[in-house]
Amino acid sequence: KAGVTQTPRYLIKTRGQQVTLSCSPISGHRSVSWYQQTPGQGLQFLFEYFSETQRNKGNFPGRFSGRQFSNSRSEMNVSTLELGDSALYLCASSLLGQNTGELFFGEGSRLTVL
């Protein structure tokens, strides 16, 4: 069974640009969650999607958005990038949702904003 796949793995952008990250969950998993990880703040919850609906949203500005497709694949977008957006963005999938059991994480997309 294939694991959670995130693309791209590494990317460099400049301030003001926008970026789209992709996440393919484990087959059959309907929930996809996104986290931002930085050395100072640790893992911060961005949002969770379940069956194409946003179920939860963390405390991030509107520049951060996401969506989920009918095949459960998810994308997140960050517009008007700032230096502080440099982070490891982690996607996690689960069968029924975040607080029902184990999360399966991808390897992450490391974003550097210059």
Partner 1 sequence: SQQGEEDPQALSIQEGENATMNCSYKTSINNLQWYRQNSGRGLVHLILIRSNEREKHSGRLRVTLDTSKKSSSLLITASRAADTASYFCATDAGQGNTPLVFGKGTRLSVIA
Binding site for partner 1 (CB under 8 A): 4, 33, 35, 41-43, 45, 48, 55-56, 58, 88, 90, 92, 97-99, 101-108, 110
Element (H, E) at 42: strand 42-50
Those residues whose C-beta lies under 8 Å from the C-beta of residue 40, and which sit 6 or more positions away, are: none
How many whole angstroms separate alpha carbon 97 and alpha carbon 88?
22
What are the CB-based long-range contacts (under 8 Å, 24+) for 55-61? 55/31, 55/97, 56/98, 60/36
Closer CB to partner 1, 20 or 56, in the complex: 56
The minimum distance between CB 34 and partner 1, in angstroms, equals 10
Instruction: Decide whether 12 or 15 has the Cβ nearer to partner 1.
Output: 12
Reading the block at residue 1, the tokens are: 């069974």
CB of 12 to partner 1, least distance (A): 16
CB of 61 to partner 1, least distance (A): 17
Is the CB of 18 or the CB of 112 nearer to partner 1? 112
